[in-house]
Amino acid sequence: MTEPVDLLRQMLRVRRLEETCVELYSAAKIRGFLHVYIGEEAVATGVSSALAADDAVVATYREHGHALLRGVSAEAILAEMYGKQEGCCRGRGGSMHLFDAATRFYGGNAIVAGGLPLAVGLALADKMQGRDRVTVCFFGEGAVAEGEFHESLNLAALWRLPVLFCCENNLYAMGTALRLVESETDIALKASAYEIPAWPVDGMDVLAVAETARRAVDAVRGGGGPHFLELRTYRFRAHSMFDPERYREKAEVARWVERDPIETLRASLALPEQEWTEMQRDVDAELQAAVAFAEAGTDEPVEELTRFVHSDRPAR
């Protein structure tokens, strides 16, 4: 089991990565869309701590932290966002489409609910090949309104596939509040309707997330079929860098910020000030090196831009 202090460090790495992205975006170093995970770190950190090296992760466009936790380097992530060749997708994916086959990180997906069928396919392949691997699929509660959510849960349950569904319920899908669009807002209950064991989890408490995820992953790996976690969390920042946030009250945001997962764990561990300072220094050094790496990266030559768009014509 991952030590609590290591969970703290991992959450801090995700937080600093996201804060760095915001700074770089403001400086126009990163362009396009940018969605950050600040406030939700306990979810990806706790779940990732339960995974083995050859398990797979599928995530959304809010996935920088998930990639980092899976083992994609901060260098490869930032270079990707800069659009540099040294990025994990040669700079062609950008913020929303991080992907890395070596760590079995299967994206980064801009389509709401688009990752669910992909995860079910990965899990089906593992089951057919008799491989002892688990696929974890992260998605927002906005995905619950999509047909793919229901199709994917149904097939995963019917075929008893080794997939762990992790719904990051942060209460909003862009400006749409969950309570205004779903007749049943208990998402774990919805998943239970597909005969999938499903639990709500406090997504601001990394220890609770890690423990529940460990049990769920063990059950999936043990042949128990798909499992489902509804991780109740909150994003502290806007949906993306273009969002005036007119759909929620500042007081509501402030109430959740009081439950900051990093500050909560730090307080409960009573970490000595010196250890905390050192941890911050190490994480900052990692990110400074990653920024320098991305800055020094190379743009793809213009003549290569059509490469990978179509496959080369096979020789006859």
Residues 128-167: x/- map of binding to ligand TPP (CB under 6 A)? ------------xxxx------------------------
- Under rule CB under 6 A, residue 177 binds ligand TPP: no
> Interface with ligand TPP by CB under 6 A: which range of 6-14, 18-26, 106-114, 158-166?
106-114
CB of 138: closest distance to Mg ion in angstroms? Answer: 11
Residue 269 CB, shortest distance to ligand TPP, in Å, is: 28
Residue 251, burial from CB neighbour count under 10 angstroms (0-12, 13-18, 19+): exposed
Q: Choose between 33 and 199: whose C-beta lies nearer to ligand TPP.
A: 33
d(CA 310, CA 2): 44
Select from ligand TPP, Mg ion, none the partner in contact with residue 111, using the beta carbon and a kind-dependent cut-off of 5 to 8 Å.
Answer: ligand TPP
60 binding Mg ion? (CB under 5 A):
no
260 binds, among ligand TPP, Mg ion, none (CB under 5 to 8 A by kind): none
5 lies in the binding site for ligand TPP (CB under 6 A): no
**Binding residue (CB under 5 A) for Mg ion from 170, 212, 287, 291:** 170
> Does position 110 bind ligand TPP by CB under 6 A?
yes
What is the contact mask toward ligand TPP in residues 207 to 246, using x (rule: CB under 6 A)?
--------------------------------x-------
Backbone angles phi, psi at 67, to 5 degrees: -65, -45
Write down the least CB distance from residue 63 to Mg ion, Å.
14
CA distance 38 to 35: 9
Start-end of H helices in the chain: 4-26, 41-48, 64-70, 74-82, 115-129, 147-158, 178-181, 187-192, 206-219, 250-257, 261-269, 273-296
Q: By CB under 6 A, what part of segment 41-60 binds ligand TPP? A: 60
Among 52, 102, 128, 174, binds ligand TPP (CB under 6 A): 174
**Is residue 152 close enough to count as binding Mg ion by CB under 5 A?**
no
Euclidean distance between CA atoms 176 and 159, whole angstroms: 33
Which one of 62-70, 84-92, 164-172, 222-230 is the stretch in contact with Mg ion (CB under 5 A)?
A: 164-172
| One-character DSSP codes across 139-186 | EEGGGGGSHHHHHHHHHHHHTT--EEEEEEE-SEETTEEHHHH-S---
Structure tokens at 99: 């992907």
Residue 172 sits in the site that holds ligand TPP (CB under 6 A) = yes
Q: Which stretch binds ligand TPP (CB under 6 A): 171-179, 241-249, 262-270, 298-306?
A: 171-179
CA separation for the pair 203, 170 (Å, rounded): 9
The label of the residue with tokens 């008893």 reads 160
Is 174:162 a contact under the CB 8 Å cutoff?
no
CA distance 313 to 311: 6
Q: Are the beta carbons of 149 and 226 closer than 8 angstroms?
A: no
The stretch near Mg ion (CB under 5 A) out of 74-82, 168-176, 224-232, 246-254 is 168-176
DSSP state of 38: T
- Which residues sit at the interface with ligand TPP, rule CB under 6 A? 60, 62, 110-112, 140-143, 168, 170, 172-174, 239
